[in-house]
Amino acid sequence: MDKKQQLNLPPRLQREYKTVEAMISIFCNGHHESENICSDCRELRDYALVRLQKCPFGEDKTTCAKCPVHCYKPVMRNKIREVMRYAGPRMIYRHPVMAIQHLLDGRRKGN
């Protein structure tokens, strides 16, 4: 993520993006045997950033799985679900603090 773009996101959305970015990296490494993120996974990561930049909820955003607005195109939604199914269980081992914060964000009041 470009640092300038990251600064344009509220802190809650920055955490969401970093979580998505880490999950995509885990998925790509496990499925595409790539040390760096491949072009397909980079496209999904960049798409997620654009969607978060346009998120109407800002600091009140829950996790994407619990969001009442599904802003991903169906093809991209299926790709990110595949990433989440694979990387989600692995997050607690690879990025434990991020995984716990993500769980807490999903349990925010009103969600």
Which residues in the chain come in under a pLDDT of 50? 1, 110-111
Global confidence as pTM: 0.85
Q: Residue 47: its pLDDT value, please?
A: 96
22 close to 91: Cβ distance less than 8 angstroms:
yes
CA 39 and chain centroid, separation = 17
Distance of CA 77 to CAs 41, 80, 92, 105, Å?
Answer: 13, 5, 23, 20
Whether 2 and 46 have beta carbons less than 8 Å apart is answered as: no
For the segment 51-64, what is each residue's pLDDT rounded down to a tens digit?
999 988 888 887 77
User: What is the pLDDT, as a whole number, of residue 44?
Assistant: 96
Kindly give, in sequence order, each residue whose CB lies less than 8 Å from that of residue 55, ignoring residues fewer than 6 positions away: 13, 61, 71
- pLDDT of 6 reads 56
- Sorted by where each begins, the domain ranges of the chain are 3-106
Alpha-carbon dihedral angle through residues 83, 91, 46, 28, given to the nearest 10 degrees: -60
